[in-house]
Each structure stands twice: as C-alpha cells, then as structure tokens.
Amino acid sequence: MNIIKRGALVLALVLAVASTASAQFRFGVRAGIQTSSLHFDKSTFDSSNRVGFTGGVMAEFTVPVIGIGADLGVMYAHRNSAVPVYDANGTEVDRKGLDYIEIPLNLKWRINIPVVNNIIRPYLFTGPSFAFLASKRAITDAFKNKSCDVAWNVGGGVELLKHLQVGASYGFGMTKAFDYVGITDNGQINGRTRCWTITAAYLF
C-alpha cells in the first residue's frame, strides 16, 4: 500500500502546483470497455477474460507548456469476470458479474508536439484506482467479495482536435478482490483483478 500512498501524494502535489500556475481545467464524459480476469494465488483457479463496460464523468487539470497535470474520474464499472461455475452436468454457468463505482486518479503528461498539437497530441498516465462494490452478489458460495478493490493503472492515448481523448490502460490489482471461504486451502486462495480498459472521453 506504500506505493499507493506515495502516488497519491505526488498527485496531490501536482494539483497544488496546477492551482497556482493558471492551469487549464476541463470537465468531460468518458465511456469504454474493460476486459477483466481474476488471478489467484493458485494458478489452477485463474479465470478466463470477460468483457464489461464503464462510463462516467471526469475532470482534468493541466499545467500549460509542460503539459503535466492530473485527471480524476467517477465511473460506473460492470465487470463480467468470474470464477467458472459449473452445473451438475459439468457445463459452465454464465455469471452476470459485479457492479462498482470506480474512482481513478492519474498523474498525466500531455506530450508537447508544437506542429500538430491542435490536431493530435499523445499522452501518458499512471495512478491508483479505487473501486467500491455496488452490488452484493457473491461470485460463488465459496468466495466473498471485498467492498473495495484497489488497482494501479498504467496507460496512454491520444487527444484529437483538443477535445476527444482515446486511451488504453492496464490495471494491476493491488488488493484482494475476493476471499476464498470454502472448506479447503485454509482460506489461502485469494483473487486479484487485472483489467485492460479502453475508453473515449470528450472534454469541454
């Protein structure tokens, strides 16, 4: 958790600098898809990838000239990744997944390319994401959902015509999204979420 605390401190310092440097401040809407998987301490319990979706609002601060800033989002995320569940005939039963309210907070660098900045501008970002469980559905009877799932995101994208941002990121689960509560393994099987996220955002 120390890396999350340090990352949050860096982001707070960037926001403080931005507030005193006539930073650009923009709001926007963002939507996209997430491809999630669960990784467990026991590799035999790894689940296959499932596609979900995400959408919400965001705010962006950017310090002029150097292009460094931060963005903050409040997103609804529906994750379809689940531990496979089988019926009596050995057929996997489809699961509807889980719903989260996700708050990503990223340090962001919009790369300055003077000749084409007004048309296309690449950017990189990284930072923590806090996903709070909004549904109470258990993944199976043997697994208990955690109320908060913390990840660290790394990604990049491009800004088109100063308003449309298209980006992709990979989220590394920092905490356990589920606890095993079965009668074997003494509770040692614990899952962490891994997510690929592709989004498009329009900033006003």
Please write the tens of the pLDDT for every residue from 109-159. Answer: 999 998 899 999 999 999 999 999 997 665 555 566 778 999 999 999 999
Say how far apart CA 108 and CA 161 lie, in whole Å. 18
Q: Which two tokens stand for residue 162?
A: 């100063």
pTM to 2 decimal places: 0.79
Say how far apart CA 13 and CA 20 lie, in whole Å. 11
pLDDT < 50 stretches in the chain: 43-46, 187
CATH architecture of 2-203: Beta Barrel (2.40)
What are the residue boundaries of the structural domains of the chain, listed by start? 2-203
Is the C-alpha dihedral spanning 55, 58, 64, 67 positive or negative?
negative
Q: Characterize the bridge pairing of strands 143-145 and 178-180.
A: antiparallel
